A and B are shown apart, each in its own frame.
Chain A
Amino acid sequence: MDREVSSSTLVARIRKEQRNATSFILDVSLEAPPGITILFGPSGAGKSTLLNCLAGLTCPDGGKIAIGESVLFDPDRRIDVRPQMRHIAYVFQSLSLFPHLTVEQNVAYGLASLTEEDRRARVGDTLQAFRIGDLRNQRPSQISGGEKQRTAMARSLVTNPRLLLLDEPLTGLDAELKAAIVEDLRAWNSEKRIPILYVTHSREEVDALGERVIAMDNGHVVSRGAPMDVLDAPRRKRLAQAAGFENLLSATVLDLREPDGVMRVRLSASACEIEIPLAHASPGDRVQIAIRAGDILLASQRPHGLSARNILEGKIHSLDQRGTIFVARVDCGVTFIAHVTPGAVRALELASEKQVWLVLKTHSCHLVG
């Protein structure tokens, strides 16, 4: 179990057909160097299936998985290393701590091959690193959610894995606790330098962790790069929805204004014309545009003297409170969804049927493939 810590890159090509479901095919190829790589995508994109294949819990139909020089799966060479021999750590969303064992026994579980003395030392260090030393004699049912997450993380990392798979391990924690756990994880990995694949469908977590992002949808990798590049310029509709683009509109390109770096489009089934960033398109092309509800400004009078190029007149169709924001549906020929604060609702006296103007910055309008 104890081995040289290598700073090896995970290289995987995986094809897996889900036979029971409605013809879902996972077909991805990815590389994860040491450090955190985020797997982002809507639920059902195949992220968990991908992790299960990497861990050896699910057998892929084809492909190849290797960490550095060590091949874990290669059907051509009849290699399929069993999960218990892969030296991979995997923290499930369910955490799956052993309920009948204490925190300490949980953390020590993966160290069966060590001597009692070595085991105690390693467990002690890891409990310390994840700040759960005081809980060593508690059972999982006796500790809080955040402490469970730390325990699950410690149990996985104490084995010195070659690769760490995290399947939404921090859902349900508040932002502060999340940040603290992520910091501990980073500190741990600055020494070990292993690839960490972190699955999430939360945009916030991507922003907090962000080093590299691989975006998946419908079983395929649809884009990869820095978080800003991948998520703020979504090229796929479902990804756009997952990344929090509430407005997805189809439009037709009218003309390109290359010197200004913009193009004008007409939103389908309406007379609305807006200006969006220039892209490879020709007049007459049909395109999809994604706009965040939070990026749309509302005005109760026609605004003047603004830098924003797109000002659309419309009528409020409905106004619903969702927690601390109001969701306004505004009919401008097409319906836009805009988020406004309760204060703004009062100040502008917003209500159904009220006439309003929507203000959209050109670069808040993203082209979706």
Chain B
Amino acid sequence: MNSLSLSFELAGCVAAILLLIGMPVAYWLAFSDWRGKFLLESVVALPLVLPPTVLGFYALLAMGPRGPLGKLWIALFGHGLAFTFTGLVFASVVYSFPFAVQPLIVSFEAVDRKLLEASAILGAGKWRTFRRVILPLSLPGMVTALVLSFAHTLGEFGVVLMVGGDLAGVTRTVSIDIYDRVQSLDYGEANRLALLLLAIAFSVLCVVYALNRRAWTPGWTRWTAK
């Protein structure tokens, strides 16, 4: 497997997982009135400010044969997590967490509270209100979360290097591949991959900003405009 398709596979897995676990966390952060909410908010935002090497270091410790996650994994599957693709997924989920959760919080909070009250009065419980009102009205936020966590995972370097090492076909992602090629003075191939990443990053950001500015309005975002 070449490094580019490995990166895409990793980013795809991570984005999907983050959307699933990001939604309940974002829902709770958007709607709870617990006073200690800031604590969880800070934890969620940590990966934004920590150097990737610090995050990767702790992830490595946790996944190592003596770390809690590593022990659990060995007990369950008979092999460790460090330097495997699954290990990379774990670490990347933590690393890209804020990129999925923040847009979800913003879009959940933007849903008019009166609509939620109207839904309750019409007999809908929390789950039905979430499914029928919050979710469809948060579609742009969900797309943003998906796209940002995908792109962020695609471009990560430090965490992958710490947790995954550089095993071709297993943990060698495209950003590490570029580094390797520069090290071995293969500037041509490095340039090709770098340009590809640049193009992907740019188009992804275009999608996100266009979506939020409603530059084009596909059917399902039209009615979220006031």
Contacts and interface: CB of A to CB of B under 8 A. Distances in A.
Interface residues of B, number: 22
Contacts of B224: 99-100
B115 A89 contact: no
Interface string A151-166: 0000110010000000
B124 interface: yes
A103 to B, nearest CB: 13
Contacts of A24: none
Contact of A84 (B114, B123, B136, B225): B123
A1 B115 CA distance: 20
Contact of B121 (A1, A83, A139, A141): A83
Interface string A124-166: 0000000000000001010000000000000110010000000
B132 interface: yes
A299 B210 CA distance: 67
Contacts of B223: 99-100, 139, 141
A84 B115 contact: no
Of B115, B117, B120, B123, most buried by chain A (CB within 10 Å of CB) is: B123
B206 to A, nearest CB: 25
A366 B15 CA distance: 71
A262 B133 CA distance: 62
B118 A84 contact: no
A352 interface: no
B53 interface: no
Interface residues of A, number: 27
A57 B117 contact: yes
A110 B122 contact: yes
B186 interface: no
Contact of A96 (B117, B124, B125, B132): B117
A96 B115 contact: yes
A89 B117 CA distance: 11
Contact of B112 (A96, A112, A141): A96
B137 A84 contact: no
Contacts of B132: 98, 109
Interface string B76-116: 00000000000000000000000000000000000010110
Contacts of A88: 121
B122 A109 contact: yes
A55 interface: yes
Interface of A: 1, 55, 57, 82-90, 92, 94, 96, 98-100, 109-110, 112-113, 139, 141, 155-156, 159
26 contacts: A57-B117, A57-B120, A82-B120, A83-B120, A83-B121, A84-B120, A84-B121, A84-B122, A84-B124, A85-B123, A87-B123, A90-B121, A92-B118, A96-B114, A96-B115, A96-B118, A98-B118, A98-B133, A99-B224, A100-B220, A100-B224, A110-B122, A112-B124, A113-B123, A156-B122, A159-B122
Given A55-B121, A98-B119, A100-B136, 7 more contacts: A57-B120, A84-B123, A94-B114, A96-B114, A98-B133, A112-B128, A141-B223
